[in-house]
Amino acid sequence: MKFFVDTADVKDIRELNDLGLLDGVTTNPSLILKSGGKIAEVTRQICDIVKGPVSAEVTATEYSEMMEQARVLAKIADNVCIKVPLTLDGLRACKTIRTAWSTSRCAFRPTRRCWRPRPALPSSRHSSAASMIWASTAWS
């Protein structure tokens, strides 16, 4: 079992990591902005602390914009996992990230639409041991 904390509080992340309890971090732009920092800066700080996956979420909803944001976020650190919305454009973006970039660092953020069969079922096709589908019902 892996333990991922859902926060952008660098102090809490450092404390959990120092205790050896942390496998990765999932966060989102809202949590980062609440912490008072800039998205790239806080994500970099988290990646410097945690050696496991650190999610960095795109805010775009259209494929081309998702890919632009994903390129920027992926350059922050090698352990960044790009989180995209679970929509048809998000599925397309995740496929591109996994195939064209030769990486499995992609995860899905549920949307209210993701529980419809059309986008939800194909998401399992992009799932693997290294790519995660966040099965949370908390909407950010």
Burial of 63 from C-beta contacts in 10 A (0-12 / 13-18 / 19+): middle
How many C-beta neighbours within 10 Å does residue 10 have?
16
Tokens 């259209």 locate to: 62
Catalytic residue among 34, 38, 83, 95: 83
83 among known catalytic residues: yes
Using alpha carbons, list the distances in angstroms from residue 57 to 15, 21, 81, 109, 117: 23, 23, 8, 8, 23
Comparing CA positions, the residue from 101, 63, 99 lying closest to residue 84 is 63
Asked if 48 and 76 touch (Cβ cutoff 8 Å), the reply is no
SS3 31: helix
The catalytic site residues sit at 83
